[in-house]
Structure 1
Amino acid sequence: MEIPGIPAPVLTALGAVRTGRVALVGGAVRDLLLHRVHNDPWLGVPDLDLVAEGPASALVEALVAQLGPEVVQRCQEHGAYGTVELELNLAGELVLLDVARARRETYPVPAENPQVSFGGLADDLARRDFSINAMALELASGHLLDPHGGQRDLEQRQLRFLHDGSVRDDPTRLVRGARYAARLGLELEPGSVDQARSALAVWPWGWRPGDPPGQAPAALGTRLRMELELLLEREPWLAALTVLQGWGALALLDPVLQADGAWPRRLRWAQRLGLPLLVALVAGARDPLALAERLQLPHRQHRLLVHWLELRRRIGEQPQVCNLTVEQWCALLEAPGCGVEAVALALACDTGPRRPLLRWWLRWRHLKSEQAAADLLASGMGQGPELGQRLRDLRAERLRRERL
């Protein structure tokens, strides 16, 4: 049997192992039906998920014995449920293989991490997000297992949640749905739209914006950040975020962001200026630092928001900011506690008059004293504070010749 997207050596090896029922699941099956190769979004290489009705480690051992240990570049087991990640080198082609034991999940507390136990293949499919991801290809028989109508939904180009409580249990499913909608040209079917809007309207989660950020459940915190990072870095983000806002789901971040019409321009400028897109998105929230803490943004990104807010405060405190000279603008933008990236974010966010910010970014920050320190030392000036002050004075003279 040949299956497009699955290297022949892997299929041959899987056909030779006898460790119980094994199936290809998830995105690889969906993309196979769409005549696409399912690749890892970060590495761009084939990425296959296998589910076994038995210990994953036993399947991996049998598979490695068939392929040969020299093919395995990396083998790492994760967690109490023994999911195993493999990196295979097949004649120079890298293939990622995730092997997991079939399991079931329940959500006693919405948006928290689920409780997991072992189960069968049907249980494993039933725990997934959308019907189009809840299909499996049984490798022994070649039969497509589609208990939730995923193939029909693919034909109708629609996304459908598996359960009435899918969004309540895990709101990050909305972000994944927006990613699929943008990448594959799918639409959320009407019943799923109703479910999303109903859940967001009643906010069934124990934590809500304004509560202590560190107490947010994982699906409204770190897991939400990871899904957004994937969306912004590996998907057509303009289309995906537009879909997300159309569903009302930017409210998962902040109600102000849900009503924000300026984020496309802000993110386009952030992209041009080399800034993290997630920072530019978060900057539109009512309380950007609280949202950054809830999402647990990396320290560098959190610090960038702090510096931008400080710069925004300083600009706002200027009584006649439009009348500042070039020298005064440079002093303001180069003061400690701001930084180059903070000015870039101010440009992206339209923080203050745009022309001087842009002029500083493109030209003024690069201007130096017309005499270097070496020239002043050669003329007889000694080392020390006076040298530094003289260099600053000479730069100020040059800046005074600049036009706004």
Structure 2
Amino acid sequence: MPDLDLVVEESIPGERPPAAHRIAIALKRQLGEAVSLFHLHDAFGTAELEVNGILLDLATARREHYPEPGSHPEVHFGSLEADLSRRDLSVNAMAMVLDPEDTSSARLLDPFDGRGDLARRQLRFLHSGSLRDDPTRILRAARYGARLGLDLGEDSLNQVHTALAEWPWRSGSLPGLGTRLRSELELLLGRESWERALMLLQQWNALGLLDPGLQHDRHWRRRLHRARCLAARLERPPWPQDEWLLLALLARLDDPLSLARRLQLAGRCQRLLADLLQLRAWVNQASTELEWRPATLSQSLEHKRSSPEAVTLLLAAYSGSEFPPRLRRGLLRWLLRWRTLRAEPSADDLIAAGERPGPELGVRLRQLRAERLDQQRW
């Protein structure tokens, strides 16, 4: 069981902390060191704990109202039935009601026939305006579809197409929407069967939610697998899977930085994409060079301060037919070996042999390293 979701009704609304917070605090006090993660979310009256390795999400039952499509909802605490009615999909709008007097028994609360949709292997949005209120529900549908082997029903698929055709999210007028999109993508790429989820989004013509170029991209699967395999061979601190796969997904876009800014990706992600764009422009120019040697290629990359991660994304994103195979092979060899080679003899060896520290020693070391690089097989 990866996680457990519990909802509690607020019996006495007022100035005191919401019910989920009070329960979370009591659990932490009672269980002590068994609670390894503890976080309270004030905006929605929720709490997140990890108890003996199990993630526990505690929520105060609430109802929501969207002042305008795509905006952050206004939250008010309410009944369990109201909480279920604000959910995304019928399969996520079921609850087992626990009896505090008899904890061995429970009854199923299923006001939207989620159990029937599970039997029919279909995903169904709860309301006709579900995606108008919050288009990130498309990504959540893909997450559930990948996890449970479900697909959108006909009416819900039509709602996706209508929402995608009508929604002006690319105008940038709702920055909070970009943040929610990023959060959903991180969950999709970090926890779910991400390959199946992305396939569903493309099947629903919904990758255009991020960028039209992604919807028409037929090579994202190979790119993401290449990026994972190459990154595993780098002797560098690994990136979180969700960040790295998202960067690989964006790597072929004409303007990945615009989407990265709209999604409010972390600064290091945006810097890496900027590095990738510079490297991509350099490769287009360098592909006309016929006299590349290991030393000149390495010096050129290092003079540009190209990061190994940017070269990894470039190699994952572009096949050998898109720039000269010899140049691609050289980039791969630099990534996996050449960049780590040092001059022989080393600076300490040269100083021990009588050479003085200073600029001339640096020139000598660069010359020795270049000679060693040019002895490498291309």
1:296 paired residue number? 264
**CA RMSD, aligned part only?**
2.4
Q: Does 1:243 align with 2:190?
A: no
2:9·2:19 contact (CA, 8 Å) conserved in 1? no
Q: Does 1:257 align with 2:214?
A: yes
1:393 paired residue number? 367
Distance in 2, Cα, partners of 1:172 & 1:280: 21
1:308-387 residue pairs with structure 2 within 5 A?
308-318=276-286, 320-350=288-318, 352=323, 353-387=327-361
Distance in 2, Cα, partners of 1:354 & 1:330: 13
Distance in 2, Cα, partners of 1:153 & 1:391: 69
Quick one: which of 134, 140, 158 aligns to 1:194?
Answer: 158
Distance 1:119 1:375, change over 3 A: same
Q: Does 1:217 align with 2:175?
A: yes
2:145·2:151 contact (CA, 8 Å) conserved in 1? yes
157-166 or 116-125, which deviates more = 116-125
Distance 1:280 1:59, change over 3 A: closer
Q: Does 1:70 align with 2:27?
A: no
Q: Secondary structure at the match of 1:194?
A: helix
Distance in 1, Cα, partners of 2:38 & 2:309: 39
2:295·2:374 contact (CA, 8 Å) conserved in 1? yes
1:196·1:247 contact (CA, 8 Å) conserved in 2? yes
1:86 is displaced (CA, Å) by: 4.7
1:27 paired residue number? none
2:341·2:369 contact (CA, 8 Å) conserved in 1? yes
Distance in 1, Cα, partners of 2:50 & 2:372: 58
2:164·2:206 contact (CA, 8 Å) conserved in 1? yes
Distance 1:390 1:280, change over 3 A: same
1:57·1:84 contact (CA, 8 Å) conserved in 2? no
Distance 1:94 1:280, change over 3 A: closer
1:94 is displaced (CA, Å) by: 4.5
1:125 paired residue number? 84
Amino acid at match of 1:121: L
1:329 is displaced (CA, Å) by: 1.2
2:246 paired residue number? 278
Distance in 2, Cα, partners of 1:396 & 1:198: 59
Distance in 1, Cα, partners of 2:289 & 2:189: 34
Distance 1:83 1:168, change over 3 A: same
Quick one: which of 145, 150, 163 aligns to 2:109?
Answer: 145
Q: How many residues align?
A: 349
1:82 paired residue number? 45
Distance in 2, Cα, partners of 1:51 & 1:84: 11
Amino acid at match of 1:79: D
Distance in 2, Cα, partners of 1:111 & 1:253: 15
Distance in 2, Cα, partners of 1:157 & 1:286: 37
Distance in 2, Cα, partners of 1:229 & 1:61: 29
Quick one: which of 64, 67, 80 aligns to 1:108?
Answer: 67
Amino acid at match of 1:245: Q
Gaps (5+ residues) in structure 1? 1-36, 41-46
The C-alpha deviation readout for 1:316-369, integer Å capped at 9, x for no partner, is 223623542222211222224312211111111127442111121222223222
The C-alpha deviation readout for 1:39-87, integer Å capped at 9, x for no partner, is 23xxxxxx2222314257457657977x794325476543255334455
Quick one: which of 188, 196, 199 aligns to 1:231?
Answer: 188
Distance 1:312 1:381, change over 3 A: same
Distance in 1, Cα, partners of 2:364 & 2:47: 64
Q: TM-score, normalised by structure 1?
A: 0.79
Distance in 1, Cα, partners of 2:24 & 2:303: 60
Distance in 2, Cα, partners of 1:98 & 1:130: 19
2:66·2:74 contact (CA, 8 Å) conserved in 1? yes
1:34 paired residue number? none
The C-alpha deviation readout for 1:181-200, integer Å capped at 9, x for no partner, is 11111111111111101211
Q: TM-score, normalised by structure 2?
A: 0.85
Q: Secondary structure at the match of 2:339?
A: helix
1:218 is displaced (CA, Å) by: 2.2
Q: Secondary structure at the match of 1:273?
A: helix
Distance in 1, Cα, partners of 2:251 & 2:348: 43
Quick one: which of 180, 194, 205 aligns to 2:144?
Answer: 180
Distance 1:80 1:150, change over 3 A: same
1:310·1:337 contact (CA, 8 Å) conserved in 2? no
